Amino acid sequence: MSDLCTKYVENELNNYKIRLNEVENNIRSYEIEFKTVSKNLSKLNKEKDWTEDIFHSVSYSKTSDNIKLSTLDNSKSELNSNLSILRDEHDILVEKIEELTNILKVDKESTTQKSIDKNESTQDNVSRETINSDTLDNQLIEQITSLINKQKFIIQIMDKDITRSKLEINNSIILMERLIEKVKKDI
């Protein structure tokens, strides 16, 4: 993989790690809030005099209790939904981090092997030019593939995080411009 691609993958890996940390912190805070709401809901249910509901009492305190119960139930449902979304995002992020880590590991092994192969090779100038041309083509393909993967990632996060997707789109544009400039130089 080219240096540009490697830097891109490392940058993406760091971004995923940062986002994973944010998601984990959000999950912890939602879990704490969820437990607090559950405790308050349980406490309010124990304190409420359910016998008066049979007679449809309209006292202020009972109406207030019903509103509190309803509010806590809604809050609990919303928190549970948010937790579910964050856990799904967490799983996706962990998977992406593992994938990018493996890509970097394979690239590092591949780079080492390529350098050994280059040192051992004693080909003439014509074959060297062919190898260089193939390497440039491979780098170009890798960079384009990297941009395609970035676009797929943007599609995945577009509904969840508009600001992040805008940032990723801008990064993608910059990478495309660099790639175009590199291709112009090579041609």
Report pLDDT for 60.
Answer: 45
Mean confidence (pLDDT) of the chain: 76
The domain boundary residue, chosen from 93, 117, 141: 117
- The single residue listed with the structure tokens 């912190």 is 25
Claim to verify: residue 145 and residue 93 sit in the same structural domain: no
**pLDDT surpasses 60 at 177:** yes
With respect to residue 43, please indicate whether it lies within any of the assigned structural domains: yes
Model confidence, pTM: 0.46
Contact 76, 34 (CB under 8 A): yes
Residue 1 is part of a domain; what is its CATH number?
A: 1.10.287
CA separation for the pair 49, 69 (Å, rounded): 13
Residue 133 sits at the vertex; the CA angle it makes with 131 and 138, to the nearest 5 degrees, is: 90
Claim to verify: residue 32 and residue 94 sit in the same structural domain: yes
With respect to residue 125, please indicate whether it lies within any of the assigned structural domains: no
Claim to verify: residue 3 and residue 55 sit in the same structural domain: yes
Task: List, as own/partner pairs, every contact residues 74-78 make where C-beta atoms lie below 8 angstroms and the sequence separation is at least 24, other chains included.
Answer: 75/37, 76/34, 76/37, 76/38, 76/41
Alpha helices in 1-54 (DSSP H): 3-47, 51-54
Report pLDDT for 129.
Answer: 52
Report pLDDT for 1.
Answer: 62
49-103 tens-digit pLDDT: 555 555 554 444 455 666 777 787 888 888 888 888 888 988 988 888 888 888 8
**pLDDT surpasses 80 at 18:** yes
Structural domain span for residue 24 = 1-117
Report pLDDT for 161.
Answer: 79
Claim to verify: residue 158 and residue 109 sit in the same structural domain: no
